[in-house]
Amino acid sequence: MVGCVLALVALLRVLDGLTPLTLVFVVVPFVAAEVVLSTRRA
C-alpha cells in the first residue's frame, strides 16, 4: 500500500501535478484505509 502511494506521488511529481492539495487527496484516503484495516478485529 505504501508503494502505491509513493508511485502515485512520484507520477504526479513527474507530470508536474503535485501540489499540497493533490498530495492531501492522494495520501489521506490511503491513511484512512490503513487505519480502518489495522484496527478492525479479526
Domain ranges of the chain: 2-39
Has residue 40 got a pLDDT over 80? no
What does the pLDDT look like over 12-29, one tens digit per residue?
Answer: 888 888 788 888 888 899
First to last CA, the chain: 20
Has residue 1 got a pLDDT over 80? no
CA distances from 19 to 8, 11, 35, 38, 39 (A): 13, 12, 24, 28, 30
SS3 17: coil
pLDDT of residue 10: 87
